[in-house]
Structures are given as structure tokens and as C-alpha cells.
Amino acid sequence: MLTAMFTAFLLIGWSIPAFASPAETYTYSFWGKPVPAPEPYAVAGVANGIDLGVGALKTPNDLHVAANGTIVLADTGNNRVLVMNKEMKVTRVIDRFHTNDTFNGPEGVFHDGKGQIYVADTGNRRIVVVKEDGTFVRTIGEPKSPLLRNTFQYTPVKLAVDRADRIYVVSKGSYEGILEFESDGRFDGFVGTNKVKFNPIDLLWKRISTKTQRSQMEQFIPLEFNNLDIGQDGFIFTTTSEEDSDQPIKKLNPSGADILRSKGYFPPKGDTGNLMLGSRRGSSIFVDVTGDVSGMYSGLDSKRGRIFTYDKDGNMLYEFGGLGSQQSNFRTPVAIAMQGEQVLVLDRDIGRITTLAPTRYGSLIREAVVNLSNGKVEASTAAWSKVLQLNANYDIAYSGIGKSLLKKGENREAITYFKLGNNREWYSEAFKRYRKEVVQSHFGTIVLIAAIVIAFIAFAVKWGGRRLAGQYYEEVGMLRNPFYTMIHPFNGFWEMKYEHKGRIKIALAILFALVVFLIIKQQYSGFVVNFSNPAEWNSMDTLKFVVLPFVLWCVANWSLTTLMDGEGKFREIVMATAYALMPFLVIYLPQTLYSNVITQNEASFYYLLDGLALVWFIWLLFVGTMTVHQYTPSKTVATMLLTLVVIGIMLFLGVLFFSMLQQMISFAISIFRELSFRY
């Protein structure tokens, strides 16, 4: 209990920084811990409506930057659209067009880079297309199609236009997906519907309920998209405001399938890990996404006001921003856009645009990613090395250097870097190539050694067989007894009980050896199968996980079998249980050695060995329990299952006892305080 409290404290210490000041940017390590990182982006300037000289902005909702750097902004509350040039000077305010027609709460805006601005005129349920100088082009009204259900309400909020001038519109409350319009304004259908999530149990209830009941149940409908952007490669990025989703950001190909890669430590979903601490709980909720060079993309999280940038494989590159009242923070960020290297963030409630420019660290990362994706290995390695000088905890940089080394064929060095970068997949690849090199250069030696070993084993077996030939009964010594028991459990346990072949000393030695072997396994097993965090290694834990269950099992089994007229003494139970642990002892060391020469797809053998050891152990434990207590097989199975139940009860009582003790102690302390304050 005390340790639990302590770990809880630790966790709180490790949790996501609740109020990130600008200096508190982080990346996630392989183990899901936020690791402090240098700041990738810094504020380059802020501008509100007064600064822009157009009067205060009223709940602006969207901002878009065209390829040529022109910025368009939807000033929803003032029913107008602002057009700005690269330097953030307002070149035009569009609030009237086409003989006094006006917008009504436009929430989305998009500049197609060919001089046309598309406005999602939300209140009027239409899309308005105007030129940069404010001349009216056309409007696209509500879609009419048999595809639409009768209750469909068209409220366009966000839109994007691709190179072929097809218009993609996100409509509020439209769970069918994104509406796609042809360039001439014809409604074409929906693309990229989100998948419905439900669990089998709900479905079963729905299946067996009547129609009236069914109509009163909550409906399973797909979630609606809340924003979209066209990436540089012409694919559509979308965001969905869903709690605890692994795909809040999607990248849709022309047929509407999600093709976003998720090869990082975690899916690209913003904050991860222990999210139930701090003032704002739960997963990140993305409200906007923006494409970037070389397949990178950034998502804007409205819950904590952070911006997460990922590369094309889904590795989190960096994170910045946050909620707060400082200039560099936001109150309610709603839109994000890239202007070259710079990031523009629009804040709805303050009505302010924040420009963030990459710091040295940020631009080095970007340089490395861009170079790597363009195949400029040397340049990217150089950039990664500089990144590592600024942040030695940056795993992606190690992996990046590893990839370039692998390209050059320096496999051994690549192995080291992938290990530092915690990238098991690539480590496995590099290791495979290195292993091939080694085997190729020493093939003769390896074959010779193998032949010698095989000959030696054959000779030993022959010689051992000859020595034992013709003996019907073999005398087994104390030390050999555990090994004998492994192979002949019935005889072995019988001799242990009735011929005093077992020794408590040996049993305890087995237990101790198992702890040692487990520690060795944890420390030295190959990187491909070793998922233990070196920062959290603690031999005491291993001791806890071996000795405590062992003691609990023995005590529980003894207390149970005394009631169920088992013949075993406590001593015998301890011995039988310890002797049953032998398979682990025999298998673990070779397994650990073996795990150091395997690649990822050979790891299945490693796990097979684990399974084998476990099955063997259970078999021995079963036979041991049966022999020690002289039970029938069925009664043995029942006893073993009941023992597990008893262990559960014992643990419960132990926890209860400790928490009571804590209560009592704190009570005594408070009484003492009370008295000491009084007198």
C-alpha cells in the first residue's frame, strides 16, 4: 500500500505537465514518459484586429494560407472575410459582394492558390466563391441528391479545394462523411466516412430487442469530421473530435480510405499515457490539422492548446504551444496553418493570430526530415547529429542516423543507433544484415564448432547410456534429484515424499537461482524481445514477483489441503513447488543467450520456449501436488484452482490490513497534533 502511494506520487511527478509554460515542451519516450525537450517553435509575433487596422475580430473561426503566402481569415462574428498578404497586412476586407449580398456567420475559408477564395457561408447554408479583390464569382447552394437522408441539415463549416477544383465540405452534423462537389458545383457524394464503433455486447442487445425498444436506444452513427485540409501531395487530412481514438487525424486517399501511417511509438493522437491527472483530463481533441512539407503534418489540440507535429511515418517530431495567458499561449485555438516554415494559430476568443517561427532546434529537425525523405542521407545525418547535440533524448534522431548508416552498409554502427533510438523493427533489420556478414566470413569455423558440439553430445549420450545400461533401478543423488524429477515426475515426487530425497536447502536454492536467472533474463535478453525499461530495473521487483507468489502459493495450498485431508506437510509442499520451478531454471539461460542472436521474426521461437516452460511447470506442479497430498487427478485440479482463489483472499486481507494500519497511524498522528497544539 505504501509502495502504491509512493508510485502514485511518482506518477504524478511524471505526468503530463498540466500548465505548459513555453519552456516546457516535451517528446514522448518509448515508455510513454514525456521527456523534456528544447523548444521547437517560438513566438515571432501576435496580431489582433486592432493591430491589423480592421477593428477587433469577433469570434474568428478559420484561417488559411495559400501556397503563395496569402492569408485569408473568416471573421465569423463580423460576417466578413479578411485577405492579407505575406507580411500580415490586410489587403482587402470582403463583407459585401454581388450587389449587396452579405455573409452570415462564415465559419470556413479556403484560398485555392489561383486567386479564388471559397467561403463556407454557414448561416446562409451555401458556399460563396469570390476573387481576391472581392469580385463575386458564384455561389454553390444546398446539395440536392437522393443520397441525402430527409433529415439532412446542410451547414457548411469547413471546406477545402483540391487541384482539380473539387470542393470538399465538412457540414456540421453530417455523419456520412465529407461532401464532395464537382468543380461546377454539382454534389458528387460523400467521401471518407468515419467507421462506426460499437461492441459485440451492444449489438447482441440490439439484436434481441423489439423495434420499439430499439428506437429508444442510442444509435450507432459514425462520428462527424470537424475539420479538413489538403496536404501538399493532394490528399485530404481530416480531424475528428473523438475521445480516446487512435485515429483522430486521418489522411484520406481519393477513394476515402485512411492511409495515415502509424509507425511511431504511439498512434498519432497527441497526448498519450496517463491522462487522468492535472486540470484538463482525457485525450487530446484535435480541431484542426495542416499539411506540411515531406509528408509532415501538425494537429492542433483544443483541450490543452498544444500543437503536435508528426512525420510521414507517424513519429511525433515535436510539440509546442499550450493554454495560458502569456503571449505565446492560447485561450481557445481554433485554426492552424503553415506559412512556409512558420505556423499561424488563430485564437477565437481573443481574436488574435499568433505567428510562431522555428527555433534552431525545430528547423534542424525539419531539415533532417526533409532531407531524409528526399534521399539526401549525408545532409540528414548531419542535421540529426546537430539535433542530438541540442537534445540527447531525441530517439527519432538516433533512428534517422541509423537509417542512413544502414543505407551506407555500416550495419554494426546502425545497430547501436537503432538501439539508442529504441527502434526494434529497424534494429532487427540491421542486426539481420550484420549477422549475415559475420556468418559469411566465419562460415567454416561455425560449421566446425557445430560439428564438434554435435559429436560431443552424441558421444556423451552414448557413454551415459552405456553406463546406465542394464540397470533397472537407478540411484539418484540429492543434487540430481530435481533434474530427475523434471523428467520422471511421478517417481521423483514419490521419492521426495517417501524416501526423503528432497531437501529444503535445495528447494530454496532453486528459488534463489530462479530469481537470479530472471534478473539475468531481464537485463541481458536480446533487444528484440527485451521490453523492460532500464530506468526502472529493480531487482527487488523480481524478488517480489517470484518469492511472494511462491510463499503465497505454499501457504494457501497448505491451509487448503489441511482442510481437504491432503497428506502433505508444509515442508513437502515447499519442496514440491520449488522442484516444479526447475523447467524455468533449465530453459531461461539458453533462452537468454538465444535471444541475443535473433531478429524480430524469429522471436516466435523465444515465446514458444516461454510457453513450453510454463506448460512444463504446470504439469510438474500438478503431479507434485497430486503425489504430495495423495489426491486423485480431478481433486488435484480442483485444489489448485481453489488455491488461486485463496491467494486472492489472502492478498485482499493483506491490503485491507495495511490500509487499516495506515488509517490508525494517521489517526494517532492527528490526535497527537491536536493535543500538542492544545497544550
Partner 1 sequence: MSASHLKERVRLVWRDMKKYKHAYVLLAPYFIIFLTFTAFPVLMSVALSFTNFNMLQSPEWVGWSNYAKLFVNDDIFLISLKNTLLFAAITGPISYMACFLFAWLVNELPPKIRAIMTLILYAPSISGNTYLIWQLIFSGDSYGFANSFLMNWGFSLEPIQWLQDTKYMLVILMIVQLWLSLGTAFLAFIAGLQNVDPTLYEAGAIDGVRNRWQELWFITLPAMRPQLLFGAVIQIASSFAVAEISMNLVGFPSVDYAANTIVTHLIDYGTIRFEMGYSSAIATVLFAIMLLTNLITQRLLRKVGE
In terms of CB distance, is 86 or 412 closer to partner 1? 412
Contact between 219 and partner 1 per CB under 8 A = no
**In the structure, how many helices (H) and strands (E) does the chain have?**
18, 27
188-213 b/e (C-beta count within 10 Å ≥ 16 → b): eebbbbbeeeeeeeeeeeeeeeeeee
342-347: strand order across its sheet: 41-48, 352-358, 342-347, 333-339
Among residues 392, 439, 457, 644, the one that binds partner 1 under rule CB under 8 A:
439
587-606 residues in contact with partner 1 (CB under 8 A) are: 601-602, 604-605
> Residue 368 and residue 364: Cα distance in Å, rounded?
6
Binding flags for partner 1, 388-427, as an x/- string (CB under 8 A): ----------------------------------------
Shortest gap between Cβ of 488 and partner 1 (angstroms)? 8
> Residue 182 and residue 176: Cα distance in Å, rounded?
18
Q: Please state, in angstroms and as integers, the Cα–Cα distance from residue 461 to each residue in 449, 464, 465, 573, 582, following that order.
A: 18, 5, 6, 34, 22
How many Cα atoms occupy the beta-carbon half-sphere of 627 within 13 Å? 25
Q: Which stretch binds partner 1 (CB under 8 A): 43-51, 436-444, 575-583, 641-649?
A: 436-444
Among residues 608, 649, 661, 664, the one that binds partner 1 under rule CB under 8 A:
608
Among residues 163, 197, 214, 480, the one that binds partner 1 under rule CB under 8 A:
197
In terms of CB distance, is 172 or 488 closer to partner 1? 488
How many Cα atoms occupy the beta-carbon half-sphere of 385 within 13 Å? 8
Three-state helix/strand/coil letters over 389-426: HHCCCCHHHHHHHHHHHHHHCCHHHHHHHHHHCCCHHH
612-671 residues in contact with partner 1 (CB under 8 A) are: 632-633
Binding flags for partner 1, 459-498, as an x/- string (CB under 8 A): -----------------------------x----------
In terms of CB distance, is 522 or 636 closer to partner 1? 636
Among residues 13, 146, 200, 409, the one that binds partner 1 under rule CB under 8 A:
200
Q: Are 120 and 156 in contact (CB under 8 A)?
A: yes
Contact between 452 and partner 1 per CB under 8 A = no
Q: Are 184 and 173 in contact (CB under 8 A)?
A: no
Residue labelled with grid coordinates 530495473: 537
Shortest gap between Cβ of 604 and partner 1 (angstroms)? 6
Among residues 6, 9, 19, 443, the one that binds partner 1 under rule CB under 8 A:
443
> Residue 222 and residue 215: Cα distance in Å, rounded?
17
Contact between 436 and partner 1 per CB under 8 A = yes
Shortest gap between Cβ of 242 and partner 1 (angstroms)? 15
In terms of CB distance, is 419 or 635 closer to partner 1? 635
Contact between 195 and partner 1 per CB under 8 A = yes
Pairing, β 116-121 against β 108-111: antiparallel
Shortest gap between Cβ of 316 and partner 1 (angstroms)? 25
Among residues 95, 202, 425, 567, the one that binds partner 1 under rule CB under 8 A:
202
Shortest gap between Cβ of 608 and partner 1 (angstroms)? 6
Q: Which stretch binds partner 1 (CB under 8 A): 147-155, 201-209, 493-501, 525-533?
A: 201-209
Contact between 253 and partner 1 per CB under 8 A = no
First to last CA, the chain: 34
In terms of CB distance, is 562 or 604 closer to partner 1? 604
Q: Which 8-state DSSP code applies to residue 565?
A: T
Q: Please state, in angstroms and as integers, the Cα–Cα distance from residue 592 to each residue in 163, 429, 518, 519, 605, following that order.
A: 56, 20, 10, 11, 12
Radius of gyration in angstroms for the set of CA atoms belonging to the chain, rounded to a whole number = 34
How many residues bind partner 1 (CB under 8 A)? The answer is 23
Among residues 10, 12, 203, 614, the one that binds partner 1 under rule CB under 8 A:
203
**Residue 113's closest CA among 134, 92, 133, 132?**
132
Among residues 6, 198, 456, 463, the one that binds partner 1 under rule CB under 8 A:
198
119-148 residues in contact with partner 1 (CB under 8 A) are: none
Q: Which stretch binds partner 1 (CB under 8 A): 58-66, 191-199, 297-305, 343-351?
A: 191-199
Q: Which stretch binds partner 1 (CB under 8 A): 177-185, 192-200, 386-394, 407-415?
A: 192-200
> Residue 299 and residue 226: Cα distance in Å, rounded?
12
Q: 357 — phi, psi (to 5°)?
A: -115, 145
Q: Which stretch binds partner 1 (CB under 8 A): 91-99, 172-180, 408-416, 435-443?
A: 435-443
Helix residue ranges per DSSP H, 183-245: 200-208, 211-216
Among residues 5, 8, 11, 196, the one that binds partner 1 under rule CB under 8 A:
196
Q: What angle do helix axes 603-629 and 489-498 make, rounded to 10 degrees?
A: 40
Q: List interacting residues with partner 1 (CB under 8 A).
A: 195-200, 202-204, 432, 436, 439-440, 443, 447, 488, 601-602, 604-605, 608, 632-633
